[in-house]
Amino acid sequence: KYVDLIIPILPFERTFFNTQSVKYNFDFKKVVYFGHPLIDILNKHIEKNLDREKIILILPGSRMSELHFHTKNFFEAAYLLKKEFSDYKFVVATQERFLKYFEQFKSEFPFIEFSLDTYDMMKKASFAITKSGTVTLEAALFGLPCVVAYKLSNLSYIVGKALIHGVDSIALPNIIYGKKIIPELIQFDATPKKIYEYSKLILQSNNYQRQIKHDFKQISYALGNYPVTPKIAKTILDYLA
pLDDT at 166: 65
Name the 3-class secondary structure at 134. helix
So what's the pLDDT on residue 4?
Answer: 87
At the top level of CATH, the class of 55-222 is: alpha beta
**Checking phi first, is residue 224 left (phi over 0); if not, alpha (psi -120 to 50) or beta?**
left
The C-alpha atoms of residue 223 and residue 37 are separated, in whole angstroms, by 9
CA atoms within 13 A on the CB side of 227: 8
Question: What are 182-226's pLDDT values in tens digits?
Answer: 999 999 999 999 999 999 999 999 999 999 999 999 999 999 999
CA angle 155, 157, 160 (to 5 degrees): 105
36/226 Cα distance (integer angstroms): 9
Q: Taking the model in full, what pTM does it have?
A: 0.92
**pLDDT at res. 26:** 77
- What pLDDT does residue 205 have? 98
Q: Diameter of the chain by CA atoms? A: 62
Q: What is the mean pLDDT of each run of 10 residues along the chain (241 residues)?
A: 89 88 79 95 83 96 96 98 98 97 98 97 97 96 97 75 73 94 95 98 98 96 95 95 87
Q: Of the candidates 46, 12, 14, which has an alpha carbon nearest to the alpha carbon of residue 28?
A: 14
User: pLDDT tens digit string along 12-27?
Assistant: 999 888 888 778 777 7
Q: Report pLDDT for 238.
A: 94
Sheet holding 127-130, edge to edge: 112-115, 89-93, 55-59, 127-130, 146-150, 184-186
- Please say whether the beta carbons of 28 and 2 come within 8 A: no
Quick one: pLDDT at residue 119?
Answer: 96
